Chain A
C-alpha cells in the first residue's frame, strides 16, 4: 500500500481561518472536500438512547450550506428511523490518503428522496473513492464492494451544520472550527 503522508489539524485550522465565507455558509474548500469522494460516516442517537453508527455513500452541498448526505436505506434503517424521530446528527468525512477528517454536527436532520440528478454525482464520488482505495492498496473487488450502492435504495439525510470540527489525527484533533 502506498503511504502518502498525512494532514494535520493545524492545516484544517489554517484553511478555515484563511477562508472567506458568509455567515451561515460553508467555505468553498470544505464543500469541495466533502464532495470529493470521501466516505461519510454518520452517527445518531438511536431510538433506545444508544449511539448508532452508519456509513453514507456520498454527499452534495446545496447553496453552500445545506448538506445532503446519501445513505443506503437497508444498511441504515435504524439510523434513519432515529433521524426521523428527531435525533441530532454527526457526519465525519475522512480522506483515506492523508487522513484529513472533518466532522459536521447538527441538532437535527430531515430525510428526503434523492433526485434524479443526484445519481450521476453519487456514482462519480463513489468511483473517485474506489480509485483512491485501489491506489492505497485495496484490491479492486474490495474497493468496489466498499463503495457499492443501490441507486434505488438511497435516502438523503439533509441538514445545516451548526458546528464543525477538525478530526484529523494529531495535536489539536477534535478542535472546533470557529468563525
Chain B
C-alpha cells in the first residue's frame, strides 16, 4: 500500500459524497450499504462510523473485514480500500471528532436523532485500489494555504508579548487564511475557556465563557484534538442552552452576568483546534462560517500548525518576563468621580457600579490589585508577585497569567472604564485609576458584609 496514497485520499473522506461499504458474513454472503463517515486517522488507518446494531456490525464482528469505495468530489477519482478491523473506540479524541462530524452530517440530512455514533471502528488499510483515474484536473488553489500559514508565522515570530501574539494570530487568520470569523479562547484551570479576542463579529465577546465539553470548542479543549463540522448541528450550537447548562452545573453565578458568546447565529461550518504546548491545552482557536463545508482537512492542518506556534510562543514569552523594560511609563490620569467595585468571592466576579466586568482568575487578580492599591497606594505590580500569590489559584504556567492580564485589560478597555491596566516594562504592569474607587466585598449570599475605604 502506498502510504502517500491514503493521505492523498483525504479529500474523498470529507463527507461530500457518501462512501460505499461491503462486508460479508461467515458464509460469504455480502452486505452493502452507504456509510456516513470514513475518517482519515493516519497513514495506515481509517475509522468508520458505527451507528446501528445491524448486519454490517454483525459481519464485522464475525470476519473483521470490510471494503469501502470512495469518490473524490474534486478529482472525481474513485478508490477502493480493503480494511481489517482493529478496534472499536467508544470514548476519546477520535470518537469525539467523529461524533461531531456525524452530528453535522445528520443535521444536514434531516437525520438528527437517527444518526448517533455508537463507536469509531478503526481499520488498518490493507490495500488501496484506484478504480477510476482523476477525471478533472485538480484545481489549483488560488490561495495556497501553506503560503498563508508561512505569512502568519512570519508575523507571529515578531511578537514581543502575549497581547501582540493574540492579536497577530487572529489578524493572520483573517488576512492570510481569509477566514472571516475567528475567536481565540484561553483555558482556565477548571476547564472553562474564556475568549480573549475575536475577528469578524459585531461585538468582540472578550470575556465570554465556554464550558469544557460544550460545543466544538469545549470538546476540542477537553479532548485536545481538532473538532470540525461542515453543517449546522443543534448538538454543537452555542447560545441560551449554554447558560442553562452552566447554571445547572453550578459553573455560573445565578445572577445574570457574563459576556455573550460572539458566535454567528447560523453557522454551518465550525472548526476548533486546541492550542497545545508541552502536552497541555492552553486554549482553543475557533473559526466558523455561514458556508457549508467551509473547512477541510487542509484548513484543519493550517490552523493546527498556527495554534501550535501560538502555544509555543505564548509559553516562551510568558517565561521571559525578566528582560529589560522597553515600554514607557503609562500616563497618569486625572481622577474624577467615584466608582464602586463589588467583588463576589464565590466566583470572583467583579462589578463596576452595577455592571458586570469579569470573573474567575482575572476577577481575582483585579480584586487583589485594587485591595493592595487601597491599602498601600501601590500602582505598579509585577507578574512574578502574582504568580507567587497562591490565593489567585493560578495554574503553574506563565502564559496563563499573561492571558488573564490581557483579558482583564481588554475588558476594561472595551468598557471604557475609569480603571485601566497599562504596560510598565517587561514583567510589570500598572493599575491606572482615573476615578475614586470604593471597594465592597460581597458575601456568598450576595450581601455586602464589608466595605473597604475608598481607594484611589
- A residues engaging B (CB < 8 A)? 1, 3-6, 41-46, 49-55, 72, 74-76, 87-92, 94, 96, 99, 101, 103, 105, 107, 137-138, 141-142, 145-146, 148, 165, 167, 169-170, 173-174
Contacts and interface: CB of A to CB of B under 8 A. Distances in A.
Contact of B22 (A53, A72, A96): A53
A63 to B, nearest CB: 24
A42 B23 CA distance: 11
B30 A45 contact: yes
Contacts, number: 132
B351 interface: no
A49 B21 CA distance: 16
Nearest to A175: B54
B292 A51 contact: no
Interface of B: 16-18, 20-24, 28-34, 51-52, 54-55, 59, 63, 65-69, 71, 73, 76, 78, 80, 82, 108-111, 114-115, 131-132, 135-136, 292
Contacts of B32: 41-43, 53, 90-92, 103
A103 to B, nearest CB: 7
B180 to A, nearest CB: 21
5 contacts: A3-B110, A43-B23, A45-B30, A52-B67, A142-B17
Given A3-B110, A101-B33, A174-B55, A49 B28 contact: yes
Nearest to B111: A6
A18 B71 CA distance: 37
B29 A103 contact: no
A80 B29 CA distance: 16
Nearest to B132: A75
Contacts of B115: 169
Nearest to A86: B28
Contact of A45 (B17, B28, B69, B71): B28
Contacts of B135: 145, 148
B113 to A, nearest CB: 9
A142 B29 contact: no
Nearest to B77: A145
B295 to A, nearest CB: 16
Contact of A50 (B55, B65, B108): B65
Contacts of B67: 43, 46, 50-53
Nearest to B76: A145
Nearest to B74: A142
A52 B33 contact: no
B433 to A, nearest CB: 55
Contact of B76 (A53, A88, A90, A142): A142
A145 B59 CA distance: 32
B110 A174 contact: no
Contact of A53 (B18, B63, B68, B73): B68
Contacts of B63: 51
A109 B422 CA distance: 80
B22 A43 contact: yes
Contacts of B17: 138, 142, 146
A82 B65 CA distance: 17
Top 9 A-B pairs, shortest CB-CB distance = A43-B32, A53-B22, A43-B22, A43-B30, A145-B76, A174-B54, A45-B28, A53-B67, A90-B30
